[in-house]
């Protein structure tokens, strides 16, 4: 709970300027924007918040509208182009003492006029200005009358975003690339995507698209098919044999090493190479298996290998060298990398399966496979998997789903998924679970394995399980599963694959080198302590502190991807790595690793957040979401069939789907002490 001087956020007025019993408000904003400098005020799409009475509200409102008008107004519609200019000029005249008090009465009319804009940037920008004029009118009138402000000077930091863009871990400018597709400019759309996502073909296919959970179109009917539109832009380039237009800057002398050719390593290498840095990636897998977990953890029916390889080849063409079949700590040490290169980025991924913790898993039984990640890797690389005819996979995430679907393609007669909670609580993407269901996977929900059973020869013959009842919600918000007495039963099988999670293998990091490892087996990096009103550090959904610089306590060594944030998604690793690349560049060129104001605001807005699921979004009519063409039927999972299942949009479908976008841009501004 934080006491505020004034707030109109969320259309809820809290005014403590007149004293008396203070009204309290809850805002997910840090008390200091950089861990030190106090947050004095905040202005954005949903109102105005003041923590410090000394904020010059007229000056802040004028600067806010000036930046909206000069930096971000697209000029594609008359209300936005003209209306924001009139409003900006009016507020400037107020500060100069050249306006009349009656001019303030036009602000509500201008706000009403701007509701007719092409997009929501200009519409939403009038809300805090309207609130400022309505609730701080005396301050505006004083400036009109030439009274010099006695308020303190504050530094004003702004950030341009959108609900979908904010929710995207890579912070891709989603409305911009969708707008380009709507105008049939697929090449320009892909250029926007690559500004923040160098693996567009991958992210257009396997991303869990958290952006769509924050799509305002969802408040009208259904979210935009953001992920598949990204695929549309990417596929257009290779289908038309177009040459990617990116050109790296002149070659620099400082060399950078990257450990791991997964999504984080590739992304960081791409952005560093574009800046002219020679980058060498060391990858433990053999040549032809670049991409890390994308290559050996995501089956080809979801991510065709030739398309993945094209993205990798493009990154390599920027001046990135990938040395395969080289394991850090065995073929070359971390100390040698540090000596040879100016900076080192650790991005080894999470390729080590977690144990199940059930009786018999360590007995060496034939048919008990090491883990889901290992099974998928062996299957893709054409090696013997050790799989039999009746397969039981334990787990509820996307890796577990991939395992049961791959088992069918590897010839299993029975592929069964065992999960201790209900289908609703599964962390796997719903569409992936539906795909497994269609292909003939057998599900056992609310079931917990307790013992692996084997015959005298050591061959698995089954797995003993117990039924689970769902109790009260646990820390994850899902109902806690509890064993039901007397419900034990056996599932007959000859193969058990645990797929309950994975960890990074950080054994290559010497214990005495100065790099700390968390209890979750991730690398500790430095961060800016963004504290909330309760004094606690603000954290992301995975429990990681916000505003991490991604530099370790060993100078010149950075960390990124699964090894730094924990096992997450391709897009999360890419977003994390893009920031790592920027921080590494600043460390090399300026001698220090730090987070910029823009990056701080990025994290602050994500924590706020930008999307409001309860917002009433006006729209004339609904339009159904487009769905990509998909191969249906159990035959798609026949033995050896790894052909792509989802086939994307036609260009015409993509354009039509892009037309549903509401272009929901927003701008926020923070006032911080000088």
Whether residues 7 and 122 fall in one domain: yes
SS3 assignment, position 157: strand
CA distance 240 to 233: 11
Query: Is 422 exposed, middle or buried (CB count within 10 Å of its CB: 0-12, 13-18, 19+)?
Result: middle
Higher pLDDT, residue 639 or 215: 215
From 349, 324, 351, 327, select the one nearest 337 (Cα to Cα). Answer: 327
Q: From CA 577, how far away is CA 267, in angstroms rounded?
A: 6
Residue 668 placed within a domain: no
Same domain, 221 and 154: no
Residue 101 maps to which CATH number?
Answer: 1.20.1440.230
423 with 555, same domain: the answer is no
Residue 474 lies in a domain: yes
Structural domains counted in the chain: 4
Domain that holds residue 393: 354-502
Tokens read off for 58: 């007229």
Tens-place pLDDT, residues 334-343: 999 999 999 9
Pinpoint the alpha helices (H) of 68-212: 78-96, 107-113, 120-135, 137-144, 163-167, 174-182, 186-194, 200-206
Q: Is residue 667 part of a domain?
A: no
Q: What is the mean pLDDT of the chain?
A: 91
Same domain, 480 and 548: no
List the CATH number of the domain containing 403: 3.50.50.60
- Could you tell me if 284 and 365 lie in one domain? no
User: Tens digits of per-residue pLDDT, 499-515?
Assistant: 998 888 899 999 889 89
Q: Does residue 441 share a domain with residue 387?
A: yes
Q: What is the gyration radius of the CA atoms in the chain, in angstroms? A: 27
The 10s digit of each residue's pLDDT in 535-592 is 888 887 767 888 999 999 999 999 999 999 988 899 999 999 999 999 999 999 999 9
| Residue 583 CB-half CA count within 13 A | 29
Percentage above 70 pLDDT, the chain? 99
The answer to whether 56 and 152 have CB atoms below 8 angstroms apart is yes
Q: What angle do CA 626, 627, 628 make, to 5 degrees?
A: 125
Q: What is the pLDDT confidence band of residue 2, given thresholds at 50, 70 and 90?
A: low
Residues 241 and 224 grouped into a single domain: yes
**377 plus 458 within the same structural domain:** yes
Tens digit of each residue's pLDDT (9 = 90 or more) over 630-649? 888 888 888 888 899 889 99
Over 70: is that where the pLDDT of 289 sits?
yes
CATH of the domain at 644: 1.10.1060.10
Q: How do residues 224-274 score in pLDDT, each as one tens digit?
A: 999 999 999 999 999 999 999 999 999 999 999 999 999 999 999 999 999
Please give the C-alpha separations between residue 344 and each of 149, 265, 526, 554, 560, in angstroms, as whole numbers.
51, 11, 16, 10, 11
102 located within any domain: yes
Residue 1 has pLDDT above 50, yes or no: no
Cα 604 to Cα 149, 210, 582, 596: the distances in Å are 29, 18, 18, 12
pTM confidence score: 0.92
pLDDT band at 476 (very low <50, low <70, confident <90, very high): low
């Amino acid at each position: 709970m934080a006491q505020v001087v004034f707030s109109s956020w969320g259309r809820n007025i809290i005014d403590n300027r007149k004293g008396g019993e203070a009204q309290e408000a809850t805002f997910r904003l840090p008390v200091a924007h950089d861990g030190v400098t106090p947050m004095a005020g905040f202005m954005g799409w949903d109102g105005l918040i003041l923590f410090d009475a000394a904020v010059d509200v007229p000056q802040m409102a004028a600067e806010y509208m000036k930046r909206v008008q000069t930096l971000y107004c697209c000029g594609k519609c008359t209300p936005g182009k003209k209306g924001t200019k009139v409003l900006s000029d009016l507020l400037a005249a107020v500060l100069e003492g050249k306006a009349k008090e009656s001019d303030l009465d036009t602000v509500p009319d201008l706000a009403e006029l701007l509701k007719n804009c092409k997009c929501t940037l200009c519409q939403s920008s009038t809300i805090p200005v309207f609130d400022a004029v309505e609730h701080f009118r005396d301050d505006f009138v004083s400036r009109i009358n030439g009274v010099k402000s006695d308020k303190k000077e504050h530094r004003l930091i702004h950030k341009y975003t959108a609900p979908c863009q904010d929710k995207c871990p890579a912070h891709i400018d989603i409305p911009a690339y969708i707008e380009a597709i709507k105008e049939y400019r697929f090449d320009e759309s892909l250029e926007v995507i690559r500004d923040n996502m160098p693996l567009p073909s991958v992210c257009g296919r396997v991303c869990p698209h958290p952006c769509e959970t924050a799509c305002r179109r969802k408040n009208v009917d259904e979210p935009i098919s953001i992920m598949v539109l990204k695929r549309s832009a990417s596929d257009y380039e290779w289908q038309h044999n177009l040459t990617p237009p990116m050109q790296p800057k002149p070659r620099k002398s400082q060399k950078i090493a990257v450990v791991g050719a997964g999504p984080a390593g590739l992304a960081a290498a791409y952005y560093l190479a574009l800046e002219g840095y020679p980058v060498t990636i060391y990858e433990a897998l053999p040549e032809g298996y670049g991409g890390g977990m994308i290559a050996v953890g995501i089956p080809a029916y979801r991510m065709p290998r030739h398309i993945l390889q094209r993205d990798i080849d493009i990154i390599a063409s920027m001046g990135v060298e990938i040395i395969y079949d080289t394991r850090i700590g065995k073929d070359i040490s971390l100390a040698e990398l540090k000596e040879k290169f100016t900076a080192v980025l650790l991005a080894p991924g999470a390729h080590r399966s977690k144990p199940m913790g059930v009786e018999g898993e360590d007995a060496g039984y034939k048919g008990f496979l090491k883990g889901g990640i290992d099974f998928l890797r062996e299957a893709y690389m054409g090696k013997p998997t050790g799989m039999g005819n009746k397969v039981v996979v334990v787990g509820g995430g996307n890796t577990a789903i991939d395992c049961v679907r791959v088992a069918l393609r590897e010839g299993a007669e029975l592929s069964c998924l065992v999960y201790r909670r209900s289908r609703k609580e599964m962390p796997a993407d719903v569409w992936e679970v539906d795909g497994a269901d269609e292909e003939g996977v057998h599900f056992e929900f609310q079931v917990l394995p307790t013992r692996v059973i084997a015959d005298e020869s050591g061959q698995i013959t089954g797995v003993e399980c117990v039924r689970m009842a769902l109790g009260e919600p646990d820390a994850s918000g899902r109902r806690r599963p509890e064993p039901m007495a007397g419900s034990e039963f056996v599932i007959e099988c000859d193969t058990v694959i645990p797929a309950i999670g994975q960890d990074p293998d950080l054994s290559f990091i010497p214990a005495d080198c100065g790099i700390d490892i968390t209890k979750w087996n991730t690398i500790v990096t430095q961060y800016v302590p963004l504290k909330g009103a309760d004094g606690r550090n603000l954290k992301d959904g995975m429990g990681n502190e916000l505003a991490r610089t991604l530099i370790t306590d060993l100078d010149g060594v950075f960390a990124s991807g699964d090894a730094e944030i924990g096992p997450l998604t391709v897009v999360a690793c890419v977003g994390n790595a893009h920031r790592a690349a920027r921080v590494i560049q600043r460390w090399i060129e300026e001698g220090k690793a730090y987070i910029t104001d823009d990056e701080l605001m990025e994290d602050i807005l994500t924590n706020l957040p930008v999307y409001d699921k309860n917002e009433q979004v006006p729209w004339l009519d609904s339009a159904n979401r487009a769905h990509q063409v998909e191969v249906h039927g159990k035959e798609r999972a026949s033995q050896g069939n790894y052909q792509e299942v989802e086939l994307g949009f036609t260009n015409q479908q993509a354009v039509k789907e892009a037309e549903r976008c509401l272009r929901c841009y927003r701008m926020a501004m923070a006032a911080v002490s000088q």
